[in-house]
Structure 1
């Protein structure tokens, strides 16, 4: 089993989860984070750290549509090991539904 980042992360990208990950399995896009399923050790420490409640175990029904997205983008985006600055409007986007179309395929830029 692994953990999966879901739609709630889009445009929020708080990155609290990155700080606690013991295996550095997070990868960053322009407005979304993903977890590499081959690197995740299923420890679960990231899940309660996410203010947007965007991280779920892959056994959760909400993970199904996002598991392949996490796997695909974790192979393309840069690895992130430290918490960065969340977008200025992250709180405004935190609980908004229907954000999938806003997912940018672009990698994170420092």
Structure 2
């Protein structure tokens, strides 16, 4: 089992999860994070740290649609090992539904 970042992260990208991950399995895109399932050790410490409630175990139905996205982009985007600055408007986007259409495949810049 592994954990999956879902669409709730889009435009929020708080990165509190990065801070607590013991194996540095988070990768950053322009407007969201993903988890590399081959590196995740299923410890679960990231899930409660996410203010946007965007992280779920892959056994959760809410994770299914995003599992492939996590796998694909964790191989393309840069690894995040330290918490960075979330977007200035992250709080405004935190609880908005249907953010999948805003997903950017571009890597994190910075």
TM-score, scaled to structure 1? 0.99
Secondary structure of 2:27's aligned partner = strand
Q: Which runs of 5+ in 2 are unaligned?
A: none
Runs of 4 or more consecutive aligned structure 1 residues displaced over 3 Å after TM superposition: none
- Quote the offset at 1:54 in angstroms: 0.2
Q: Which runs of 5+ in 1 are unaligned?
A: none
- Quote the offset at 1:97 in angstroms: 0.4
The alignment's C-alpha RMSD in Å is: 0.3
- Quote the offset at 1:90 in angstroms: 0.2
Secondary structure of 2:77's aligned partner = coil
- Quote the offset at 1:75 in angstroms: 0.4
Q: Deviations over 1:26-65 (max 9, x none)?
A: 0000000000000000000000000000000000000000
Secondary structure of 1:56's aligned partner = strand
Write out aligned runs for 1:40-79 (5 A). 40-79=40-79
Residue number in structure 2 paired with 1:24: 24
